[in-house]
Amino acid sequence: MGLHKILKYVGLVLGLIGVILLAMIWLKGDDEVIANFQNGIEWYMYVAYFILVIVVVLVLIYVLKGVFAGNVKKTLVAIGAIFAVFLIAYLLSTGVETQMKDNEVLSAGGSKLVGTGLRMFYILTLIAFGAMAWTGVKKLTNK
């Protein structure tokens, strides 16, 4: 049996465990979940953390395996491009200390990182739309 099939079955089992645990939480209801958070729900969180760790480790293994099996130069160029977009977004962002709804204060640095994330999203969205438009025009002109 190939590794792909084994991982597919592991993913299926983990998904089923997640669905069963979610159904158990839904059946208990919001009030009981909140009232018994420390007693009954805490182990659900530990199972979720355990599954998350398994998934992250498997993803990292296969990403690193794919990076070293393929062209490392292209991977490093792509990582550098993402870092360049982050740097541009960070330099364009401003940070202002902000009062939040729950009377906590978001620091200027936190505000700048939020702005950076939004600007990165906008820049990458524009790049994606531009790439789709470019390939569409290129297909039309090649025919």
Give Cβ neighbours of residue 65 (< 8 Å, ≥ 6 apart).
none
> Of all residues in the chain, what percent carry a pLDDT higher than 70?
90
For residue 63, pLDDT beyond 70? yes
pLDDT reading at 17 higher than 80 = yes
Give residue-wise pLDDT tens across range 84-106.
999 999 999 998 888 888 888 88
Taking the CA atoms of 12, 13, 14 and 20 in sequence, report the sign of the dihedral they define.
positive
Q: How many other C-beta atoms are found inside a 10 Å radius of the C-beta of residue 108?
A: 13
Strand 98-99 vs strand 105-106: parallel, antiparallel, or unpaired? antiparallel
Q: Which residues contact 7 (CB under 8 A, 6 or more apart)?
A: 58
- The pTM score is 0.57
SS3 100: coil
Q: Average pLDDT of 68-92?
A: 90
Mean pLDDT of 40-69: 80
Helices (H) and strands (E) in the chain, counts: 5, 2
CB-neighbour burial class of residue 123 (10 A; exposed 0-12, middle 13-18, buried 19+): middle
- What was the pLDDT predicted at 36? 67
